[in-house]
């Protein structure tokens, strides 16, 4: 663990509890002078101290996490790049704000997102997409954005659902790789629900699962493989097996309306389903044993590539974590339909993502797994794995959809993955320079740049032609 100087956060914790330095020092079994040095950032927080803080106050020590700070730095960088002040804010100043005044930083990010939402609303009103009227003020975020941000705030790990799913797996005597048979029996015995595998043509258009509450019948599309059938059955089971838990988690999310709450219930039910089909301990132990080989995990748990990748991004149980992954799913147009980050990787909300990222290259080699060492402008390096996946209905001429799925982790964890074999992990020049998105990426001289970075002045010189588009004036050192 790198040295963590989190004095302001420690001081805030103490003040919120109404404690003096002497009182907190006594609780943490350290001297008042040592605590004073910690709060003044003259000494770093250590792992034993973090554990004492957790034991004494029962708080999530993630508030002292460098990954959490890196997220805030990325969000602040994006927000301040659009401030329009004409002044370049140094990365050192942004990091200082995120480290010493995280609450102020989060408030700035929230104000920025609110302002951007208002600008988008005004654009929609001006174009006639949204009718003007008494209710045409600033709307809340779109429901799916609320749900996505909910999982992002939880680092894509919902401990209560993992625990409940693992208990069910043991109590019901389910078997890894053959969960579908056990779930069919469980739905019938505990909840009186009969499961029917139905021809796709007899299902509602595009439906994979349909539940009839009056008839207590669950219909599953025949085109689904056993693993995907199990996932759909486990999703339906979540609504009947854990209704109180789903309700509590949704209420804690403080969603703005019924649509967001319903989407959250579905998302949480899907999380529970993944945790039933791939129970935490068994899945994590197998992942470590096979060096996170996605194909071998898919064979063991009878699930597909995308489902395995998504589950890998949730392994953050305290005391038994897996590799902290980032998970994305994009289409050919660059639209990101899924994105989850267990730690600090920042997905831009502005101007798309980076064309140099191997997630996009995957479309040129369908079905082939690609690896990439990538480095962000802040110097952090990552290992990325990408491959295309295709979903479709059975029958000639039936529609299908294709995506590229990406799974990444910080370079410090790359050695635990089979995909790092043969890669020059220690060579800084081996990494491909990428960014979060052209509009917020400050990397100079990038030939793939589609937009100039927001808040930076483009260098215009009639006497000079450059290879890279949108050359920008470099800030003074």
Give pLDDT tens digits along the chain (477 positions).
Answer: 444 556 777 887 787 778 888 988 888 889 989 988 888 878 877 777 877 887 777 665 555 555 566 667 777 877 777 666 666 677 778 877 877 777 788 888 878 777 776 666 665 555 444 444 444 444 556 888 889 888 888 888 999 999 999 999 999 999 998 899 999 999 999 999 999 999 988 888 878 899 999 999 999 999 888 899 999 999 999 999 999 999 999 999 999 889 999 999 999 999 999 999 999 999 999 999 999 999 999 999 999 999 999 999 999 888 899 999 989 899 888 888 888 776 656 555 544 578 888 898 999 999 999 999 998 877 788 999 999 999 876 677 777 889 999 999 989 899 999 999 999 998 878 888 887 777 767 777 777 887 777 666 777 777 877 777 777 766 554
Look at residue 142 in the predicted model and tell me its pLDDT: 80
Q: What is the pLDDT of residue 342?
A: 61
Cα angle value 233/237/238 (rounded, 5°): 120
**Overall CATH class of domain 159-309:** mainly alpha
C-alpha–C-alpha distance, residues 405 and 313, integer Å: 12
- The most distant pair of C-alpha atoms in the chain lies apart, rounded to whole Å, by 80
Q: What is the pLDDT of residue 134?
A: 44
pLDDT at 466: 75
Position 456 scores a pLDDT of 67
Distance CA 305, CA 318 (A): 26
Domains in the chain: boundaries: 7-64, 67-132, 159-309, 325-433
Asked if 331 contacts 360 with a C-beta cutoff of 8 angstroms, the reply is no
Q: Are 303 and 278 in contact (CB under 8 A)?
A: yes
Superfamily of chain region 7-64 = lambda repressor-like DNA-binding domains (1.10.260.40)
Phi, psi of 117 (to 5 degrees): -60, -40
CA distances from 110 to 107, 196, 417 (A): 5, 47, 36
Give the span between the Cα atoms of 394 and 396, in whole angstroms: 7
Q: Does domain 325-433 correspond to CATH entry 1.10.10?
A: no
């Amino acid at each position: 663990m790198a040295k963590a100087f989190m004095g302001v956060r420690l001081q805030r914790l103490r003040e919120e509890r109404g404690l003096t330095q002497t009182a907190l020092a006594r609780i943490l079994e350290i001297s008042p002078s040592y605590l004073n040095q910690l709060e003044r950032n003259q000494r770093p927080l250590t792992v034993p101290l973090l554990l004492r803080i957790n034991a004494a106050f029962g708080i999530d020590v993630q508030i002292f996490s460098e990954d959490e700070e890196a997220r805030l730095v990325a969000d602040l960088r994006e927000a301040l790049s659009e401030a329009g002040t004409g002044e370049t804010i140094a990365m050192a100043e942004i990091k200082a704000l995120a480290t010493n005044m995280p609450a102020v930083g989060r408030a700035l990010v929230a104000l920025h997102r609110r302002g951007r939402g208002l600008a988008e609303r005004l654009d929609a009103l001006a174009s006639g997409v949204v009718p003007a009227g008494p209710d045409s003020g600033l709307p809340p975020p779109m429901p799916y954005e609320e749900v996505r941000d909910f999982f992002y705030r939880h680092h894509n790990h919902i401990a209560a659902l993992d625990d409940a799913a693992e208990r069910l797996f043991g109590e019901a005597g389910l078997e890894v790789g053959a969960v579908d048979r056990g779930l069919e029996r469980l739905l019938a015995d505990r909840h009186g629900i009969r499961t029917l595998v139905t021809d796709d043509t007899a299902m509602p258009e595009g439906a994979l699962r349909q539940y009839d509450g009056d008839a207590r019948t669950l219909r599953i599309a025949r085109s689904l493989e056993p693993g995907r059938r199990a996932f759909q059955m486990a999703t339906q089971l979540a609504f009947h097996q854990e209704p109180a838990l789903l309700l509590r988690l949704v209420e804690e999310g403080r969603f703005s309306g019924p649509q967001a709450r319903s989407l959250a219930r579905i998302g949480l039910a899907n999380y529970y389903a993944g945790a039933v089909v791939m129970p935490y301990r068994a899945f994590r132990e197998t992942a470590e044993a096979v060096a996170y080989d996605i194909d071998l995990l898919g064979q063991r748990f009878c699930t597909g590539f995308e489902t395995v990748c998504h589950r890998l991004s949730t392994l953050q149980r305290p005391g038994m974590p897996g590799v902290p992954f980032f998970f994305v799913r994009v289409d050919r147009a660059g639209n990101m339909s899924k994105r989850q980050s267990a730690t600090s990787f920042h997905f831009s909300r502005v101007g798309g993502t980076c064309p140099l990222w191997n997630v996009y290259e995957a479309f040129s080699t369908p079905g082939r797994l690609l690896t990439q060492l990538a480095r962000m402008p802040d110097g952090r390096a990552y290992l990325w794995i990408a491959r295309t996946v295709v979903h479709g209905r059975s029958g000639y001429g039936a529609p299908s959809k294709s995506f590229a799925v990406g799974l990444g982790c910080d370079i410090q964890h790359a050695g635990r993955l089979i995909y790092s074999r043969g890669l020059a992990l220690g060579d800084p020049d081996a990494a491909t320079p990428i960014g979060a998105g052209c509009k917020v990426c400050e990397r100079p001289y990038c030939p793939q740049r589609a937009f100039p970075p927001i808040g930076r002045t483009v260098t215009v010189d009639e006497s000079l032609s450059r290879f890279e588009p949108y050359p920008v004036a470099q800030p003074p050192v």
